Structure 1
Amino acid sequence: MAFRIAFVLILLFGTIKCDDIFDITDEQLNELIALKNLTEQLTLLNLTYELSQGFILYDDSDISFYVYTKNSTDGTKLRYDQSNRLSYVAGFDSNLRTVFIIHGWLNYYKSEVNTIIRAALLALDKSFNIISVDWSRYSYLLYSLSRLTVPKVGKTVALFINSMMAKYTYSADDIILIGHSLGAHVAGFAGKELNGTLGTILGLDPAGPLFFEKDENTRLYINDAKYVQAIHTNSFLFGVNFPIGTIDFWPNGGCWQPGCSQLPIVVDICSHLMAYRFMAESIGNNLFYARKCSSYGEYESGNCSAGTSALMGGLNLNISLSGDFYLKTNLCSPYGLEDIGLTKQASLARNGILGTILGLDPPGPLFFERENITHMQLHLVIVLTSLFAYCRSDVYNRTDSNIDNISEIKTLIKLSDIKSNLSKISDMSRVFLDSSILFYVYTQSSIDATILTHDQSNLLASVKGFNTEIPTVFIIHGWVNNYESHVNTYIRDALLEYADVNVISVDWSCYSFLEYCIARSNVLNVGRTVGQFIKGMIDTFEYSPKDIILLGHSLGAHVSGFAGKALNGTLGTIVGMDPAGPLFFIDKPEDRLNPGDAEYVQAIHTNAGGLGAAFSLGDADFWPNGGSLQPPCSPSFKIIKDICSHDWSYVYMAESIKNNKYYGKQCSTYNDYCYGACDTNPFNLMGGLDYDKSAKGNFYLKIF
């Protein structure tokens, strides 16, 4: 219960409109400061405008400019008002193009984004002036506070550039700004200050949290320079997920990058940083060929092979091109694949110029160089992103009708508030694209997946071994999972070995890796997309909906429910494996998996009251070992035991496909079952593929 409460509290802070709950007097502000010192109450600190104003005493002099040339590689430090001293830097030439490199959050001028891009530039035969902007005085604050300073830092950069152009009669066309994460938006604000006259801005995975598509004046925008390019590498968490430039590149779909660890958060950090690694390599030897396409699914399907091509990154820019471009990359350096087709992979053994110069290793999980980046600060990265990535931009507006005292915050955290705010979650969600949901098709004759998009079910006939005369089983993963997660591989392998079925794994990882409340808000959309695919399949092949089985784990169970709703409950079977509990309610059957979603709905509860729902939501509900905690799971830590128990639902499901011996007895409680009070009651098999659809109610069993 304690974990559940903590979980809900975290979710709530991610869903309530921030400006609805914070109105703080001076006296309360002092109380908050004391709380901060005692307990590091980051949420209150982060959302209080007055506190942030006191925390940030911005001074242009805190921004430093480190100048490098081929003749001066150690870096000459200048202030914002010292551009007139550029002529004293050995090798500085006002007839050359000047590249500004602007780092992001928790970085400084010696961070990797600066060092590898600078090294790539200095390695070229052609010379450039290079200036690394250091705004670490503000980039090492809490994320939301750093975000607040972005316009000011951009203005300071513009002051330096403006005086530089005036002093040396320098052309704005010859100035290139390269910004990573928050630095991309700093570049945008610098461009705004200069009325869009700069030649080029390159935004490397522009930061997503607290930047919004409609607020063009508060982020990097297409008009901030004559040419704005964006490279998106982690568009579902740390980066923006919408087009932001003249031209937008989405390597590997833009969500996350191959070669990064699959651990949640780690994969996001790694993918976010891959943007500047791609950029650095493209400067030395640009083989990042991309194709203009409407979606990554269309690109992967080969439907854009004849489309317009463009090179991502680099400095030889074709400024006449615009739109969204997609490409694949290698797992490790060299990342560029050349223009070798959409499915053929270049050899990973090829040596790229940047790999030779810098000796780059495959991307690791973290690239924090400063010695004072501690484990606690990494924890803050995770917490702040989770809690505040989607707060409104008007978070700092105060009204007299808001909270009168600190204690009232507690009264907001209650069930009715969570329910009422569910309708608002969608307002904070990322833009949903049906084409981002992918369907991986497997048969006994085709164990290598064929990838289809939501509107390509008509292509199933081209999949080797796909048979419209046998059942088709859809596997739908849950939160922070994808098509390669264990829930898919365990069940898929069991089905292909022990059953005569078609198998389709649904991948909705572009949304499942979001903050939980945002992922939860997209469950309806994903379910409808799955329903659309199935309807196309039914219409094209006259496929019987009774022969379709949906197996969904956690949030995927509710995705299955919404797919069933979209098809008016005509599907044969849905099995929900420990259907997710947080933000799903017993009195809202229309907003979750429900018995009417298919002819037969079965639920397997393995962590009820923790990560799973604690109430019945199927025609038949199975509660192995009481349904709360599973015996194989470690007793040491509650959260670990919850996660382990939650996952055992799909382990049971996979085992039941191989040899189903999971007999459950219909009973009113687990205690009654244990004491033999239900021995004469009907039994039913949990899981498997052969269902007694007439047996309904709650069924209990012991395993182990």
Structure 2
Amino acid sequence: MKMSPSLSVLLAVVASMAGIGGINCGLLDMFNTNSDYHLAASMDAVFGALRNDIGNFLEGNIKNPVEKEVTFWCGNRNSTQLKQTFVNDTDLDSKLDLSKPLTFIIHGWLDNSTRIWVKTMAQDMMKYADTNVCGVNWSRLARHNYYQVAMNHTLIVSSYLTKFVEYLRSAGIDLEHITFVGHSMGAQISGQAGKNLNGKIGKIYGLDPAGPCFTFPRDRGLQYRLDSSDAKFVQMIVTSRFMIGVGAGDGHENFYPNGGYSPQTNCAIPVTSDAEFADQIMCSHLHSTTLFRLALNPAIVYRARRCVNWPLYLLTFCNTNEANVIGVYSKQKAGHFYLRTSAFTPFTALFPTN
């Protein structure tokens, strides 16, 4: 299999950070892995191969006011169509039921709130959890290069999200009844907003939180990334460790389907080009959203076991350890939990099942 230079470089960089031996081909001389900028540049090089799907990266400084770049689309069981909702909205009562909890869904880099996974998750949240839902759309800010988005744009989004939450609190929704569900950089935005709100948010679900520029190769600090201090309860689902996702979860609960590594079992496609490699990683990265969404249905259970690491889990040393389940029905027990999932929908756990 012949790999292009940018693919080979990214593989080598990722392998060196993950502590994987056996790669010593001199390619790392092209990058200083102590620099967030160079790692982010390699992310841009590889995922630029997906331009046919996502379009070109946007360039330049942000000129629009924040309320144009970050918008909120809200609904509930009585009004399931998500409608744009504003700070100081004079029509708030028709969009939100202030007597019910509220869940925010926050997309990540190169994504937007009109994607099917966001819309479907919003409808399933309303169906199974009877909660208000607000999708946070920051798609134009998310379309810039990785470094600019990670270092600057996430802070813009989290600041305005904080302002919107504070407005809703003044309207009568308690912080402990608010949940953030964030994917990729959306998970880190959730952590930033949670930190701004002094950790008083009820729950945060971090779906494969973005790792580069947040936790490796250089940790920017807890004020920029999601961790267990950002809400009363934080769960992470990690599906692309040391690739786009964090190397290890830092929530109260951390779930690692298939060890947390890319490719996930349903994403194992042959790789011969940058575009296919990017597709494989993105498939694994997005798989966290699928598992969380499907787990909203009480009939679909992803049961995991507390374990020290993936090899010990595979060797069945953890089969008698405490069990827990992914998603909103978890036991909210601290620790790291591993499970192996099927390659076919609904991807339910293969073992252990008790």
TM range (shorter): 0.7 to 0.9
Any conservation in 2 of the 1:113–1:180 contact (CA below 8 Å)? Answer: no
* Residue of structure 1 equivalent to 2:156: 152
Give the CA RMSD over aligned residues: 2.8
3-state SS in 2 of match to 1:94: coil
Instruction: Choose from 314, 330, 337 the match for 2:342.
Output: 330
Unpaired runs of at least 5, structure 1: 22-41, 43-51, 343-704
Fraction of identical pairs, as percent: 28
Which residue identity is paired with 1:65? F
1:115 Cα deviation after fit: 1.7
Q: Deviation digits for residues 28-49 of structure 1, max 9, x if unmatched? A: xxxxxxxxxxxxxx9xxxxxxx
Q: Structure 1 pair 212/316, CA: closer, same or farther in 2 (3 Å)?
A: same
1:162 Cα deviation after fit: 0.8
1:16 Cα deviation after fit: 6.2
State the TM-score, normalizing by the size of structure 1: 0.41
Instruction: Choose from 208, 212, 217 the match for 2:211.
Output: 208
Instruction: Choose from 95, 110, 118 the match for 1:114.
Output: 118
Any conservation in 1 of the 2:237–2:255 contact (CA below 8 Å)? Answer: yes
Which residue identity is paired with 2:188? H
1:12 Cα deviation after fit: 4.1
Instruction: Choose from 289, 293, 311 the match for 1:280.
Output: 293
Asked if residue 77 in structure 1 is aligned to residue 84 in structure 2, the reply is: yes
Instruction: Choose from 258, 270, 279 the match for 1:266.
Output: 279
1:74 Cα deviation after fit: 2.3
Unpaired runs of at least 5, structure 2: 10-24, 39-47, 49-57, 272-276
Which residue identity is paired with 1:205? D
- Distance in 1 (CA, whole Å) between partners of 2:352 and 2:211 is 32
- Distance in 2 (CA, whole Å) between partners of 1:277 and 1:253 is 16
Which residue identity is paired with 1:128? T
Q: Structure 1 pair 208/172, CA: closer, same or farther in 2 (3 Å)?
A: same
- Distance in 2 (CA, whole Å) between partners of 1:12 and 1:141 is 26
Instruction: Choose from 202, 218, 227 the match for 1:199.
Output: 202
3-state SS in 2 of match to 1:328: strand
Any conservation in 2 of the 1:200–1:225 contact (CA below 8 Å)? Answer: yes
Which residue identity is paired with 2:302? F
Asked if residue 306 in structure 1 is aligned to residue 310 in structure 2, the reply is: no
1:93 Cα deviation after fit: 1.6
1:339 Cα deviation after fit: 6.9
Instruction: Choose from 141, 144, 151 the match for 2:144.
Output: 141
Any conservation in 2 of the 1:249–1:324 contact (CA below 8 Å)? Answer: yes
- Distance in 2 (CA, whole Å) between partners of 1:200 and 1:325 is 18
- Distance in 1 (CA, whole Å) between partners of 2:88 and 2:270 is 46
Any conservation in 2 of the 1:123–1:284 contact (CA below 8 Å)? Answer: no
Q: Deviation digits for residues 183-208 of structure 1, max 9, x if unmatched? A: 00011111011000000000000011
Instruction: Choose from 172, 176, 180 the match for 2:175.
Output: 172
Q: Structure 1 pair 208/20, CA: closer, same or farther in 2 (3 Å)?
A: closer
Any conservation in 2 of the 1:56–1:145 contact (CA below 8 Å)? Answer: no
- Distance in 1 (CA, whole Å) between partners of 2:187 and 2:5 is 38
Which residue identity is paired with 1:334? P
- Distance in 2 (CA, whole Å) between partners of 1:88 and 1:73 is 11
Q: Structure 1 pair 246/17, CA: closer, same or farther in 2 (3 Å)?
A: closer
Asked if residue 102 in structure 1 is aligned to residue 106 in structure 2, the reply is: yes
Which residue identity is paired with 1:158? T
- Distance in 2 (CA, whole Å) between partners of 1:208 and 1:272 is 11
Any conservation in 1 of the 2:342–2:350 contact (CA below 8 Å)? Answer: no
Any conservation in 2 of the 1:109–1:132 contact (CA below 8 Å)? Answer: yes
- Distance in 1 (CA, whole Å) between partners of 2:283 and 2:105 is 20
- Distance in 1 (CA, whole Å) between partners of 2:104 and 2:229 is 18
Q: Structure 1 pair 323/262, CA: closer, same or farther in 2 (3 Å)?
A: farther
Any conservation in 2 of the 1:98–1:175 contact (CA below 8 Å)? Answer: yes
* Residue of structure 1 equivalent to 2:66: 60
Any conservation in 1 of the 2:238–2:246 contact (CA below 8 Å)? Answer: yes
1:19-418 → structure 2 map (5 Å cutoff) = 55-57=61-63, 59-61=65-67, 62-79=69-86, 81-83=87-89, 85-89=91-95, 92-124=96-128, 126-147=129-150, 148-168=152-172, 170-212=173-215, 214=219, 215-256=221-262, 257-260=264-267, 261-263=269-271, 264-285=277-298, 286-313=300-327, 315-319=328-332, 321-337=333-349, 340-341=352-353
- Distance in 2 (CA, whole Å) between partners of 1:105 and 1:217 is 19
Q: Post-superposition, which runs of at least 4 consecutive aligned residues in structure 1 deviate over 6 A?
A: 3-10
- Distance in 1 (CA, whole Å) between partners of 2:288 and 2:310 is 17
Any conservation in 1 of the 2:142–2:149 contact (CA below 8 Å)? Answer: yes
Bigger relative contact order, structure 1 or 2 (CA pairs below 8 A, ≥6 apart)? 2
1:681-700 → structure 2 map (5 Å cutoff) = none
3-state SS in 2 of match to 1:325: strand
- Distance in 2 (CA, whole Å) between partners of 1:87 and 1:56 is 32
Which residue identity is paired with 2:322? T
Q: Structure 1 pair 340/240, CA: closer, same or farther in 2 (3 Å)?
A: closer
Any conservation in 1 of the 2:80–2:123 contact (CA below 8 Å)? Answer: no
3-state SS in 2 of match to 1:283: coil
- Distance in 1 (CA, whole Å) between partners of 2:346 and 2:28 is 40
* Residue of structure 1 equivalent to 2:31: 14
State the TM-score, normalizing by the size of structure 2: 0.78
3-state SS in 1 of match to 2:251: coil
Q: Deviation digits for residues 386-438 of structure 1, max 9, x if unmatched? A: xxxxxxxxxxxxxxxxxxxxxxxxxxxxxxxxxxxxxxxxxxxxxxxxxxxxx
1:59 Cα deviation after fit: 3.2
1:312 Cα deviation after fit: 0.8
Equivalent pairs counted in the alignment come to 304
1:85 Cα deviation after fit: 3.4
3-state SS in 1 of match to 2:336: strand
1:619-634 → structure 2 map (5 Å cutoff) = none
- Distance in 1 (CA, whole Å) between partners of 2:107 and 2:258 is 23
Q: Deviation digits for residues 66-101 of structure 1, max 9, x if unmatched? A: 01222322211023x235632122xx3222111100
* Residue of structure 2 equivalent to 1:427: none
Any conservation in 1 of the 2:184–2:210 contact (CA below 8 Å)? Answer: yes
Q: Deviation digits for residues 353-393 of structure 1, max 9, x if unmatched? A: xxxxxxxxxxxxxxxxxxxxxxxxxxxxxxxxxxxxxxxxx
3-state SS in 2 of match to 1:217: coil
Q: Structure 1 pair 83/304, CA: closer, same or farther in 2 (3 Å)?
A: farther
Structure showing greater radius of gyration is 1
- Distance in 1 (CA, whole Å) between partners of 2:250 and 2:194 is 14
Which residue identity is paired with 1:333? T
- Distance in 2 (CA, whole Å) between partners of 1:176 and 1:152 is 20
Which residue identity is paired with 2:88? Q
Q: Structure 1 pair 301/341, CA: closer, same or farther in 2 (3 Å)?
A: farther
Q: Structure 1 pair 99/338, CA: closer, same or farther in 2 (3 Å)?
A: farther
